[in-house]
Amino acid sequence: MEASRTELRDGRTAVLRPAVPDDAAAITKYVNIIGAEGRFVLRERATWTIDEERRTIAAADGRQAVFFVAEIDRRLSGLINLTRGRWAKDAHLAEFGMSCLPDCRAIGLGTALLTRGIAWARSVGVRKLTLEVFGTNDRAISLYRKMGFIEEARLPGQYIIDGRPVEGVIMALWL
């Protein structure tokens, strides 16, 4: 898998590439930034060591799992990780998670990451991509719909954010 470049709406260029174990410290720092926002991802902070992150990245073999990072001005600015089902009955599925730094949202980076993830899924024979997103994350839900994802379920009260119940929204794209 090679690196690719994409022009963003704000004039900057993003480089999308597979993550490598040397990215572990930057990914951990990144996860802590996104998690500290408290409203877009499940974790408030990274819960693994840098060595554990290195092993996770190294285990992404490009066939069962893949981890792409996006860099803008040599700073890790977004990521997407996709993992296929492990068993014969779910090997046609891949789940994913993705995010972008706050100052890198609404400029096309999420679209670029998701496009890269969809291309990978097709290349390895995945037939269905799935994700779960907080029902309060309107921007992400809008992106997924724009990319062809449909809602499959809403799970009322699945999460508590800022003391209030928030539904989980399960979305999918058939490839």
pLDDT tens, residue by residue, 8-34: 999 999 999 999 999 999 999 999 999
Task: Say if domain 4-128 classifies as CATH 3.40.605.10.
Answer: no
> Could you tell me what percent of the chain has a pLDDT over 70?
100
Cα–chain-centroid distance for residue 101?
Answer: 12
Whether the predicted pLDDT of 43 surpasses 80:
no
The pLDDT value recorded for residue 36 is 85
Q: Which residue has the tokens 């408030």?
A: 44
The pLDDT value recorded for residue 169 is 98
Q: Which sequence spans correspond to the domains of the chain?
A: 4-128
Q: Report if pTM > 0.85.
A: yes
Q: Judging by DSSP bridges, how do beta strands 75-84 and 93-100 pair with one another? A: antiparallel
DSSP 3-state assignment of 96? strand
DSSP 3-state assignment of 119? helix
**Residue 168 pLDDT level (bands cut at 50, 70, 90):** very high
